[in-house]
Structure 1
């Protein structure tokens, strides 16, 4: 939905041009309508024939998360939005999120059908995030969790993170010195995380030009899979031939760019010691001979590129976005920044922060918890779908072809769950005043920035480690403040791949004495 509202207005004339084609689908539409009448779906805004609420949303001039916020007061904690051929069930309460993802976790553990473009880039749903609930998903997730994201495995990449942190600090210092102390936060944080994940994924040394080239390709993948009008109205597909051709070209570029690193890593594994700069282990190593339940062959190169891209893209922008919001909050509340710096100094003295120090810093962890409560990387958890007919939620029927969307802000800002939820206040998590559980394990879902239940993000531990480490190093090395002419930060938001600051954050850094 990221840029759909922007593109719908320019494509609206295609709808009317294609009206004749739509008439030929009348029998199909009527049959769907009769079928839906037999289901007790959640309420929702009145839908137009054929297009549902698609153009109502477009004409609102808002992004989808803003549209959901606007209509929620009228339709309650669960409602239906029809986007032409796609039915979205929006859940906005803690109680219903718990019913769906914990109490009925198996019933809603699958994923909906993908658009043709997304299918190309997911190798027909051969990823941890997109796979339907079943043997392929179990095999891929088990491998990622046990083979790459366990606490023991993460420790093996401590030196990679340490090097990336030093590089981040140097980049910030150099940019500040050449620009009157002003730096871009998101750009630098993103680069640091990207380098870490690139090294963890491929286990080979790369120069700056190579890193930038891979980054450009993977960014283009994210841009290409943004929903288009024909994803909701497939009958308009003839009008989007150029975009489909462009998507194929992006996929070819992705393969051309990443396959050489698959071959390089294969060569290193066959000839140990042949490359002194190569890491002893990488995520790719776990994938070459991965056994998938119900299938005899190992992943193909096409599937390997998809899995590596998922690993890198899923962890880059989500973490970098959190850092941008985090620095903005520290600037907004200098007393929080001062308290955090004091804790860092009292914990490590004059040496640089190391990973072993993080668990000792109660206030740092409180800040990152509050950051993820107020600013989850995305406003919707990854889409869920019912596995089989007959699923219900909140007393309503949930068809198997519907997308179940959990809206996170209304849970994290629920005054029934939080004291003064609108305020950014890390102290709420100190001395057990309020619970910081992100998994729903305590029995109540109060925040779920990484999802909960069977499909909870396997990278939760890695993401929080990266956020805490980067935030600690950035505050240890620099004092952060607003631009001289900026009396108040703009906390307006926009949805790209993640929810970012509408105006990219520029900040003034002053090296600590």
Structure 2
């Protein structure tokens, strides 16, 4: 685009947005406090130009403006909550009003088939149909048990991968990479019900990562009139979407063929999440999901549980290395419950200390800084402030899990707080909001039960098989963090493993 056209476009955009800003319906409302913004763009360029990750920028605002803060991000109004009582009021007491999702940017809409997913759907019949199907037909306790062998096989492969890598590297292994591969394999099997070799798994994984990168926010998401300046990025997004469809549709058709002719594919599993999608009845629609919609739903199922679980495992191993007594105590509990055999899923239900470790892990290291964005279906009130219809409502999770008013020594990683310390926390939020790693209320993560099983089982097997030590020897663990798809360690954790005798 030539320079004069760029200048003309910029001027036109600024004039148009000025008119919008002067007539916007939020004028005169009592919004929560927040930093003063610039004309037209609000706080958008302040955030983008700060040179800091958004979570860090927000952390610095909390001591100034309190637990409920407004940011004007171009044409969007963002209200961020970081206190338990505010989240309880919004998502529990007024749950229906705060249960929808905001308008979606065009790029993300391409990948979600215009909000045809459990996480992205507006509060209404489509969301109810998709969520009911996922919970009842794929993630219920009964259905989860049907995938027990898949998980046990993946755990055996994880142990073998770790041993092989350690033998080639003087005992050193990369934690996140191996944990991520294991849980990705589990979710692929649960989703598609077909057997895949390692090369295929890695190809699908690379494609999924490319999709997630493509979905990173851009300036035109907040200032839509800047779209002419981002045509190359939009074209690239369409190319990635076609790649995603081309990669996954063959597995969809392979499973469809196996269901039509039972016994024709000896590697096919008896059941998969995909089976529930072929003839899914969605309220308000006559036809079942199309292949692109099935691709979207399968991608949601796989992506939703991969990085969140793998990240939790990395933080857990880091905490075990930092505090060997926690690891030793956990190992002793495992031995007392299972003896010499491999840990089984039924065993983890009996491990009181393991459950405390997992709960403390989710409190101290929730998978993300912010839960999935909520929005209000009508004008609402929260803590005496106006929340206009369509506002983006964000929940800052560490503000709750690290609140000294709710937790004794909140910065300390201490599983005993749930045992001898007498502290309690319901991660579903039903009995009160103290930690919400999976969200809370009507839009709570449907994969909560699956995620806790995967995290608990992986930790138990990894501690049962190996003693985890620092690498290099006697080095300190760096608990710095950064945001990728989830909150990961700033320096990916490499550890030394010693096989148990």
- By the TM > 0.5 criterion, same fold? yes
1:312-357 deviation digits (Å, cap 9, x = unpaired): 0000000000000010000000000000001011111111101110
1:370-385 alignment to 2 at 5 Å? 370-385=360-375
Partner of 2:355: 365
> Aligned in 2, Cα 1:474/1:30: closer, same or farther, shift over 3 Å?
closer
Q: Secondary structure at the match of 1:297?
A: coil
1:361-510 alignment to 2 at 5 Å? 361-388=351-378, 390-430=379-419, 433-442=422-431, 444-484=432-472, 487-510=475-498
Q: Secondary structure at the match of 1:36?
A: coil
Partner of 2:269: 279
1:327-366 alignment to 2 at 5 Å? 327-366=317-356
- CA distance in 2 between counterparts of 1:324 and 1:299 reads 36
Is the deviation greater in 329-338 or in 391-400?
A: 391-400
> Aligned in 2, Cα 1:87/1:357: closer, same or farther, shift over 3 Å?
same
Partner of 2:229: 239
Q: Secondary structure at the match of 2:52?
A: coil
> How far does residue 18 in structure 1 lie from its aligned partner after superposition?
5.0
Q: Are 2:14 and 1:23 aligned? A: yes
1:264-322 deviation digits (Å, cap 9, x = unpaired): 11100000111111100000000100000111110011100000000000000000000
Q: Secondary structure at the match of 1:335?
A: helix
> How far does residue 431 in structure 1 lie from its aligned partner after superposition?
5.2
Q: Secondary structure at the match of 1:25?
A: helix
Partner of 2:147: 157
Partner of 1:226: 216
- CA distance in 2 between counterparts of 1:18 and 1:415 reads 50
- CA distance in 2 between counterparts of 1:254 and 1:405 reads 29
Partner of 2:182: 192
> How far does residue 15 in structure 1 lie from its aligned partner after superposition?
9.8
- CA distance in 2 between counterparts of 1:469 and 1:395 reads 44
- CA distance in 2 between counterparts of 1:289 and 1:51 reads 46
Partner of 1:301: 291
Q: Secondary structure at the match of 1:239?
A: helix
- CA distance in 2 between counterparts of 1:471 and 1:363 reads 12
Partner of 1:8: none
Q: Secondary structure at the match of 2:37?
A: coil
> Aligned in 2, Cα 1:90/1:17: closer, same or farther, shift over 3 Å?
farther
> How far does residue 22 in structure 1 lie from its aligned partner after superposition?
2.3
Q: Are 2:101 and 1:111 aligned? A: yes
> Aligned in 2, Cα 1:333/1:16: closer, same or farther, shift over 3 Å?
farther
Q: Which runs of 4+ in 1 moved over 6 A?
A: 14-17
Specify which of 277, 281, 292 is matched with residue 282 of structure 2.
292
Partner of 1:6: none
Q: Secondary structure at the match of 2:374?
A: coil
Indicate conservation of the 8 Å contact 2:74/2:222, yes or no. Answer: yes
Indicate conservation of the 8 Å contact 1:15/1:236, yes or no. Answer: no
Q: How many residues align?
A: 497
- CA distance in 1 between counterparts of 2:408 and 2:93 reads 26
- CA distance in 1 between counterparts of 2:202 and 2:92 reads 41
- CA distance in 1 between counterparts of 2:446 and 2:330 reads 28
> Aligned in 2, Cα 1:16/1:475: closer, same or farther, shift over 3 Å?
farther
TM-score of the pair, normalised by structure 1: 0.95
Q: Secondary structure at the match of 2:449?
A: helix
Partner of 1:68: 58
TM-score of the pair, normalised by structure 2: 0.97
Indicate conservation of the 8 Å contact 1:93/1:410, yes or no. Answer: yes
1:178-216 deviation digits (Å, cap 9, x = unpaired): 001010000000000000000000000111111111111
1:55-91 deviation digits (Å, cap 9, x = unpaired): 2112322111111110011111101011111111000
> Aligned in 2, Cα 1:327/1:22: closer, same or farther, shift over 3 Å?
same
1:409-451 deviation digits (Å, cap 9, x = unpaired): 0100111111111100000111571113101111x20000000
Indicate conservation of the 8 Å contact 1:119/1:125, yes or no. Answer: yes
Indicate conservation of the 8 Å contact 2:14/2:40, yes or no. Answer: no
> Aligned in 2, Cα 1:131/1:333: closer, same or farther, shift over 3 Å?
same
Q: Are 2:145 and 1:126 aligned? A: no
Q: Secondary structure at the match of 2:488?
A: strand
- Tell me, which stretches of 5 or more residues in structure 1 are unaligned? 1-13
Q: Secondary structure at the match of 1:60?
A: coil
> How far does residue 400 in structure 1 lie from its aligned partner after superposition?
1.7
Task: Say what the alpha-carbon RMSD is for the aligned residues.
Answer: 1.4
